[in-house]
Copies of this chain bind each other. A is one copy, B any other.
């Protein structure tokens, strides 16, 4: 992937984070272990939730829980490198919304992994799933329509 393509690819993402890899992110196969990609997507997700002004106390009100995620592994990262993580909302449903995160190698200027996550509103007061709060819907629209 050319430099131009990576920049084009990142166009339209409202949240982009960088993370300097740790040597200990690699496993015995001498590549970054698969779970770490999802750890970075999680941090991007939490930063996105903060942009949405969500309640992240995880013990009262309506907060986000991760119902499902997947990850397609395309190009393996190695230390030292910097991961670039770009994150947006792909679709909004009645009881959840779907985020997509793309992970890039800064050193190699190419895509490394793509992950989707399903975010479910959970009411910590009633201890039950909830319909998607209208504030969440508005906050997502505000971020993505900028």
Q: In the complex the two chains form, is B70's CB within 8 Å of A58's CB?
A: no
Q: Which residues of B contact A70 (CB under 8 A)?
A: 68-71
Minimal Cβ-Cβ distance residue in B for A20: B19
Q: Which residues of B contact A19 (CB under 8 A)?
A: 19-20, 22
| Chain B min CB distance to A24 (Å) | 5
Question: Which A6-33 residues have a C-beta within 8 angstroms of B?
Answer: 17-24, 26-30, 33
Stoichiometry, as copies per complex, reads 4
- Among the stretches A37-45, A97-105, A128-136, the one at the interface with B is A37-45
| Chain B min CB distance to A133 (Å) | 18
| Chain B min CB distance to A63 (Å) | 8
What is A's interface to B at a CB cutoff of 8 Å?
Answer: 17-24, 26-30, 33-36, 38-40, 42-43, 46-47, 58-59, 65-73, 79-80
The 6 closest A-B pairs by CB, nearest first: A70-B70, A29-B58, A26-B28, A35-B35, A23-B46, A22-B43
